[in-house]
Structure 1
Amino acid sequence: MLIAFDSTQQALRMEMLLEYIEIDIDLCPTPKQVTAGCALSIRFPDEDEHRVWEVIRTEKVEIRGMFREIGDEFEELAAP
């Protein structure tokens, strides 16, 4: 799974929040297939999707979108 952001500040804030609840993440460059205002994205395991949505909702983190990687493509997911 991948989260894209419009600002570096929000990406770094989300990184801190997810590390705090011990979700295994990888801060990485935003893939060229994903349009975002920030060059940083966060990858995390599929099984943590619900926990990540909860953090986004409760902490009011501003994201560009959450995406599932399918081969070389990225499918945007709707918030639950």
Structure 2
Amino acid sequence: MLLIAFDSTQQALRAEMLLEYAEIEIDICPTPKEITAGCALSIHFPEEDLATVKDVIVQESVEIRGIFKPAAEGYEEIER
């Protein structure tokens, strides 16, 4: 599972709605403490949906902190 972190709750909730509309299976979760973000909410989604998620984010101008994957020690940023 990959994770999207946000700078604002408004953007997190907007992304949740847009990704659900795109029929991507997502989970809302607390932002891990290893990720510095301005919002306490993050979204987990399957790695195989990365291309679709990126398309939705770009087309709808969703502001994100970054997209992260689990790493040996916390999370590693893969997209900004």
TM-score (norm 1): 0.94
Which residue identity lines up with residue 43 of structure 2 in the other structure? I
Q: How many residues align?
A: 79
In the TM superposition, structure 1's runs of 4+ consecutive aligned residues that sit over 3 Å from their partners are none
Structure 1: gaps (5+ residues): none
Name the Cα RMSD after superposition: 1.0
Percent identity among equivalent residues? 65
Instruction: Supply the distance in 1 between the matched residues of 2:38 and 2:20 (Cα, whole angstroms).
Output: 23
The reply to whether residue 6 of structure 1 matches residue 7 of structure 2 is yes
Which residue identity lines up with residue 16 of structure 1 in the other structure? M
Alignment of 1:29-48 (within 5 A): 29-48=30-49
Which residue identity lines up with residue 23 of structure 1 in the other structure? I
Instruction: Report the counterpart of residue 21 of structure 1 in structure 2.
Output: 22
Q: Deviations over 1:13-62 (max 9, x none)?
A: 00000000110000000000110000000000000001000011000000
TM-score (norm 2): 0.94
Structure 2: gaps (5+ residues): none
Decide whether the 8 Å contact of 2:68 with 2:79 is kept in 1: no
